[in-house]
Structure 1
């Protein structure tokens, strides 16, 4: 496979700002077709990105024999059925995060993709941020000694809009939860990437300002196969914004503040060093490059379905499920 023709299912904000621009920017990648909840939205997306084909339903898009892979950018509740449908149609799949509503859904998604011989990747794009990649390189190279502890903190204030219906992220029947499913999943995935598999994790989730069952405050404690520990919190209920990842070792620490930025600070007994890493043109571009090279040349997936289900297991443990 030398050139990847994509079909996009879901033309909302994530596809417009993140997935769509990246799919068009990567060499060997081309958006061939789109579908969305309404034809009007799909046509607007197609006009913006120069997409040739607009389909009224996912069924119609998946029936197109020229589509090699699909990008599923829809509410979490649809990830499972659409992934199953795409796999049965023989399409490779890039699914937005989190992978599914439950661990059981994720297991069925993996099983079906294996049976049908298609690849499944989940869009934990922060693994590809240059500052995160540099952190991984420093950790694996022993720059801060043996890693003992990581601390992650992501806080902001989110208020429900007055209009109805509420955005799907605030409807647990569509999103699977609140702040943990929406932004916490990204941070848990990064901890797995940097520190290894989670062996134990416990936590609490509460509704402080938002009405139950939409949790807007989560805290957790975890242990990893590497022997490291982690503590963290995610909130939509704090006026003071923060987005921090700190990794502490026996000989120093790594600090990413903000986590989504391009500055990386390393402090050791030898002193302090600041790295300025490149800024990606689009958030999903590293993710898309990895998936396209996987399909074209067999490059291993950095966040396969087998890797992404680990985050769903951690989420389920924090929720006490």
Structure 2
């Protein structure tokens, strides 16, 4: 348990204060009681200063070490692209500070395991930014499942597709499609969210396999992935992530012995319950700052009130599942 209070807050530093931290995550640290965003880092000092001024952050730098080793910083949020997660994660563990790492935990399971072990050895809190585990919309889906409203769950299916973006078509650089950073491209960035959510809803996965190809030749990473898996409780699953088709889709179906649940992982659409005894469609709005509940749960975890739903252990499992689908392990 970490000691902090409203008058003596836990001071967070962000490494990589890019777009993802502008609205989605960064402001949540100042909005959470007992937390304070006290330092930010970006490779461009001008951009780091601009972020700090706009978000009322007292310290800014372009050197990660000046956040990690700063005695005025108690915990670190790593929001850089995944290829540097291990580099910075190991340094935060060495500094002895709690840490939150953006998803995916690392580009592969081996790097994720190294990060996990570093924090385990020092008994340090480690969180992974799979914030969907904390969002009310998906907690309602879990509530329906736990209440057995569709009976025994048999199978889950997710199809995620979209057309190539103008950035892709113009062959402009995007780290998300650079195989040296994210071998499976958008699957690493997007697919990880859903697979992690499915283990939260249905339990850990026992085995998985799949295929990955580059169909369009627009960038070095894979642009089409299909996979199948089985949860430890016998529930089967399948997924397809295709980033070169005409239509954008994001559809999850959970099939049970007495009904079905439908929802979107990424899109803001209603969640649907369809059964012989009850049909329901609910729209549950996301918060303005998507990490709000994720960060609030970190506060409760660090103060000893509850266990956070997305820790290093669960993030490591998601990395393992992804590497199994990609045939890396």
Runs of 4+ displaced beyond 6 Å: none
The equivalent of 1:237 in structure 2 is 244
Give per-residue Cα distances to partners, 1:101-125, cap 9 Å, x unaligned: 2211111111111222311111111
What SS does the aligned partner of 2:104 have?
A: coil
Superposed CA RMSD in Å reads 1.7
What SS does the aligned partner of 2:117 have?
A: helix
What SS does the aligned partner of 1:238 have?
A: coil
Shift of 1:259: 4.8
1:222 and 1:237 map into 2 onto residues whose CA distance is: 24
Give per-residue Cα distances to partners, 1:206-261, cap 9 Å, x unaligned: 11224464111111111111211111111211221111111110000111147542
The equivalent of 1:311 in structure 2 is 318
Contact 1:252/1:267 (CA < 8 Å) preserved in 2? yes
What SS does the aligned partner of 2:194 have?
A: helix
The equivalent of 1:150 in structure 2 is 156
Please say if 1:168 is aligned against 2:175.
yes
TM-score between the two structures when normalised by the length of structure 1:
0.95
Give per-residue Cα distances to partners, 1:291-318, cap 9 Å, x unaligned: 1221123521211111111111111111
Shift of 1:83: 0.4
Shift of 1:174: 2.0
Shift of 1:275: 2.3
2:292 and 2:228 map into 1 onto residues whose CA distance is: 31
**Which among 213, 218, 243 is matched to residue 206 of structure 1?**
213
User: Greater share of strand residues, 1 or 2?
Assistant: 1
What SS does the aligned partner of 1:15 have?
A: helix
1:188-267 equivalences under 5 Å are 188-211=195-218, 213-257=220-264, 259-261=266-268, 263-267=270-274
Please say if 1:44 is aligned against 2:64.
no
Structure 2, gaps ≥5 residues long? none
Give per-residue Cα distances to partners, 1:159-205, cap 9 Å, x unaligned: 316475x1211212123431221101111111111111111211111
The equivalent of 1:124 in structure 2 is 130
1:273 and 1:167 map into 2 onto residues whose CA distance is: 40
Contact 1:6/1:67 (CA < 8 Å) preserved in 2? yes
Please say if 1:6 is aligned against 2:16.
no
Shift of 1:266: 0.6
The equivalent of 2:26 in structure 1 is 20
Q: How many residues align?
A: 320
TM-score between the two structures when normalised by the length of structure 2:
0.92
1:279 and 1:75 map into 2 onto residues whose CA distance is: 24
Query: CA separation of 1:257/1:311 partners in 2, compared to 1, >3 Å: closer, same or farther?
Result: closer
Between stretches 166-175 and 154-163, larger displacement belongs to 154-163
The equivalent of 1:112 in structure 2 is 118
